[in-house]
Amino acid sequence: MKSLIIYGSQYGTTKQYAEKFAEMTNFPVISYEDIKNVIDYGRIIYFGGLYAGGVKGLKNTVKKLSPNTKLIIVTVGLADVCDKENINSIRSSIRKQVPEHLLKVSSFFHLRGGIDYQKLTFKHKTMMTLLYNKAKKIPEEKKTAEVKAMIETFNSKVDFVDFTSLNRITEII
């Protein structure tokens, strides 16, 4: 099956995963911003950074796929990917971005990325500061994995990128 890796990455962690996966599989890799004709690919492995729940570039990309495409969606975020509630929340936001016919034949993987506050755009820094100030007031027992990750990493630099987590994806290919 003809396969292509597409990624949506703002600060590079998702791109690192996508490029490593390309090295592991020998599949071509491209940013979602550069895709033109992808109708011929039977399988797309989409790596997307999580931004306020949404998967960067995914909505634009699925519009360009053939209806029979086998889609593998790999999200990259900060929150704990062993947390069930976090996974449910990511999956529910994916459902809003991907049409039903593609979802039915999709597989999902969730990886951890990283953040460096010194590199954030002014808009993202402001957004995170507002969210952080709100999150601090949430009672401990009500804090989701997303909220916890945000509080723990606020204003710092963390890197959770772990290429061994890609092995699980190669197993289904």
Two tokens, residue 124: 């993202």
Is residue 135 involved in binding ligand FMN (CB under 6 A)? Answer: no
Two tokens, residue 147: 């909220």
Is residue 97 involved in binding ligand FMN (CB under 6 A)? Answer: no
| Residue closer to ligand FMN, measured from CB, 78 or 166 | 78
Residues between 67 and 86 that touch ligand FMN (CB under 6 A): 76-79
Two tokens, residue 140: 């401990």
**Contact 162/16 with Cβ under 8 angstroms?**
no
Two tokens, residue 114: 């990283």
Among the candidate windows 23-31, 66-74, 107-115, 133-141, which touches ligand FMN by CB under 6 A?
Answer: 107-115
Count CA within 13 A, CB hemisphere, residue 143: 18
Specify the pairing of strand 43-51 against strand 54-55. antiparallel
**CA 169 to centroid of chain Cα atoms:** 14
| Residue closer to ligand FMN, measured from CB, 41 or 47 | 47
Residue nearest to ligand FMN (CB): 113
Is residue 20 involved in binding ligand FMN (CB under 6 A)? Answer: no
Query: Whole-angstrom Cα distance, residue 45 to residue 133?
Result: 36
Instruction: Supply the minimum distance, in Å, between the C-beta of residue 151 and ligand FMN.
Output: 12
Instruction: Supply the minimum distance, in Å, between the C-beta of residue 13 and ligand FMN.
Output: 3
Q: Which amino acid is at 16?
A: Q
Is residue 118 involved in binding ligand FMN (CB under 6 A)? Answer: no
Q: Which residues bind ligand FMN (CB under 6 A)?
A: 9-15, 49-53, 76-79, 113-115, 120, 124, 127-128, 146
